[in-house]
Amino acid sequence: GAVVSQHPSRVICKSGTSVKIECRSLDFQATTMFWYRQFPKQSLMLMATSNEGSKATYEQGVEKDKFLINHASLTLSTLTVTSAHPEDSSFYICSATAASGHQETQYFGPGTRLLVL
């Protein structure tokens, strides 16, 4: 159980285009999803917290107008990188929280590798 999928797994795009990444919880409902970014040889960096039906909460330094997050249902959150530039090239990973008893655990999707040319 607790499977999270992401689509696409890899995307190459031209500078200035927008890219949408989907994150789905396949076998559970996730009230909260998180979006991370990871540059090579660095640790995960939390970008934003996404709650179903409400606006995402962005971490300091993350531009909300550049990284649009929509969490329309309990199983789907999307991240849109608008007007992507080469410096946005990174590994984007989502996670979804599954409740077990009174504890919540984050399960990660397989990630989306974005390359902006």
Partner 1 sequence: QKEVEQNSGPLSVPEGAIASLNCTYSDRVSQSFFWYRQYSGKSPELIMSIYSNGDKEDGRFTAQLNKASQYVSLLIRDSQPSDSATYLCAVNRKAAGNKLTFGGGTRVLVKP
Pick 84 or 109: Cβ nearer partner 1: 109
* Residue 48 CA from chain centroid, whole number: 8
Contact segment (CB under 8 A) with partner 1 among 11-19, 22-30, 75-83, 107-115 equals 107-115
Structure tokens at 66: 């550049």
Q: How far apart are CB 26 and partner 1 at their closest, in Å?
A: 15
Q: What is the Cβ-side half-sphere exposure of residue 2, based on CA atoms within 13 angstroms? A: 12
Considering only 67, 97, 114, 116, the residue that binds partner 1 (CB under 8 A) is 97
For position 110 contacting partner 1 by CB under 8 A, the verdict is yes
Q: Which stretch binds partner 1 (CB under 8 A): 14-22, 65-73, 75-83, 91-99?
A: 91-99
- Sketch the per residue contact string, 34 through 73, with partner 1: x for CB under 8 A, - otherwise: x--------xx-x--x-------x----------------
Q: Can you spell out the DSSP letters for 44-83?
A: -EEEEEEETTS--EEPTT--TTTEEEEEEETTEEEEEE-S
Nearest to 20 by CA among 8, 38, 37: 8
Say whether 6 sits in a helix, a strand or coil. strand
Backbone angles phi, psi at 86, to 5 degrees: -50, -35
| Cβ at position 54, least distance to partner 1 in Å | 12
Q: Which residues bind partner 1 (CB under 8 A)?
A: 32, 34, 43-44, 46, 49, 57, 91, 93, 97, 103-111
